[in-house]
């Protein structure tokens, strides 16, 4: 009888004890990855449906973002998000894909050469809607489809997110809250798989000074079977052309500090983020292209 190697160690840096779909913890695009994956209270961009659907309510705009993520041991992920926003409501679609190629497996006895290779795939697709309830308060909901395949075993699931944002009148300070990945999946190889349920509360504070603007983000994150984490980040914008970012996440054994840079021209923004990782895992690099349509 064939036995699979413990290949899921490849995703151990993101995995929650007792939970599946660890790719859902990786974030969406390079901009927010550089700011410590904070951003529950920040909306009005193409990845808002992924972070907090309440952020889709706001100014009239249509945006798209495409992100590629390279991290250790050949793991690759990609994110595509499109947001359609009107004056009081907005909708969005997103797709998150993560693949681990060329995982070796052997028969019951150890051997120098593997008996073969296989891959692991995770995919999440979501549709989101957000609406302003009052001039200061907005709410949103996302419906999600989950798919995971490891070797010949696969499972699907259904769930979603709910969120809200509150803006303090006259100050621009925004408070956001979201509960993500509420739902259920089938079994994988006779083992139950739980979604990484998470509750998040965040604050976004925009600052304006001379030719530059700044955005400060702070999130408190409580995940299933995990202690409380604090994610924080900052973004400085110079003349809407150059973006400098930095962030930090508390309580993780493999990572903490993050940083990034962005450049904007015409209706396009290019973003890059770096997440150094310890324990021999190397560094995580992410690239994003954001388009205003």
Decide if pLDDT at 18 tops 50. no
* pLDDT (0 to 100) of residue 53: 94
**pLDDT above 70 coverage of the chain, percent:** 85
Closest to 89 (Cα-Cα) out of 51, 50, 48, 125: 48
| CA distance readout (Å), 219 to 93, 132, 204, 268, 287 | 23, 22, 9, 27, 23
CB 25 within 8 A of CB 196: yes
pLDDT confidence band for 291 (50 / 70 / 90): very high
Predicted pLDDT at 19: 59
Q: Is the pLDDT of residue 52 over 70?
A: yes
pLDDT classification of 109: cutoffs 50, 70, 90: low
pLDDT reported for residue 8: 37
Give the per-residue pLDDT at 209: 76
CATH of domain 3-292: 2.40.160.60
The answer to whether the Cα torsion of 54, 198, 222, 100 is positive or negative is negative
Q: Are 247 and 38 in contact (CB under 8 A)?
A: yes
**pLDDT of 2:** 34
pLDDT confidence bin for 277, thresholds 50/70/90: confident
SS3 state of residue 13: coil
Q: What is the tens place of the pLDDT at every residue in 243-263? A: 999 999 998 888 889 999 999
Give the pLDDT of residue 13. 34
Q: Which residues of 249-283 are buried (b: 16+ CB within 10 A; e: fewer)?
A: beeeebbbebbbebebeeeebebbbbbebeeebee
Mean pLDDT of the chain: 84
pLDDT in tens, 175-194: 999 999 999 998 887 777 88
Q: What confidence category does residue 107 fall into, taking pLDDT thresholds of 50, 70 and 90?
A: low
Q: Which of 8, 24, 12 is nearest to 196 (CA)?
A: 24
Q: Could you tell me the pTM of the whole model?
A: 0.85
pLDDT band, residue 106 (cuts 50/70/90): low
Tell me what pLDDT residue 210 has.
72
pLDDT band at residue 39, thresholds of 50, 70 and 90? very high
Q: The tokens of 32 are what? A: 């927010």
User: What pLDDT was estimated at residue 86?
Assistant: 76
pLDDT of residue 165 exceeding 80: yes
Dihedral sign of CA atoms 246, 252, 253, 254 in order: negative
Round to whole Å and give the CA distance between 273 and 290: 14
């Amino acid at each position: 009888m064939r036995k699979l190697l413990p290949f899921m160690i490849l995703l151990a840096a993101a995995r929650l004890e007792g939970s599946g779909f660890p790719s859902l913890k990786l974030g969406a695009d390079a901009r927010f990855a550089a700011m410590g994956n904070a951003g529950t209270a920040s909306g009005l961009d193409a990845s808002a449906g992924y972070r907090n659907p309440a952020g889709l309510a706001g100014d009239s705009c249509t945006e798209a973002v495409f992100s590629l993520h390279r991290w250790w041991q050949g793991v690759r992920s990609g994110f595509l998000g499109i947001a359609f926003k009107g004056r009081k409501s907005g909708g969005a679609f997103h797709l998150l894909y993560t693949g681990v190629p060329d995982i070796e497996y052997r028969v019951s006895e150890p051997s120098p050469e593997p008996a073969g290779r296989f891959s692991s795939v995770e995919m999440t697709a979501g549709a989101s809607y957000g609406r302003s309830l009052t001039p200061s308060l907005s709410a949103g909901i996302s419906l999600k489809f989950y798919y995971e395949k490891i070797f010949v075993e696969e499972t699907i699931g259904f769930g979603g997110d709910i969120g809200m944002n509150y803006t303090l009148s006259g100050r621009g300070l925004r408070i956001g809250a979201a509960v993500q990945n509420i739902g259920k999946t089938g079994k994988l190889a006779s083992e139950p798989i739980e979604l990484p349920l998470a509750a998040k509360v965040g604050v976004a504070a925009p600052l304006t000074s001379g030719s530059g603007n700044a955005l400060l983000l702070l999130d408190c994150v409580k995940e299933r079977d995990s202690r409380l984490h604090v994610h924080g980040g900052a973004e400085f914008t110079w003349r809407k052309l150059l973006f400098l970012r930095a962030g930090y996440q508390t309580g993780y054994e493999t990572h903490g500090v993050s940083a990034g840079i962005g450049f904007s021209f015409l209706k396009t923004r290019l973003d890059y983020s770096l997440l150094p990782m310890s324990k021999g895992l190397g560094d995580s690099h992410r690239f994003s292209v954001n388009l205003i349509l």
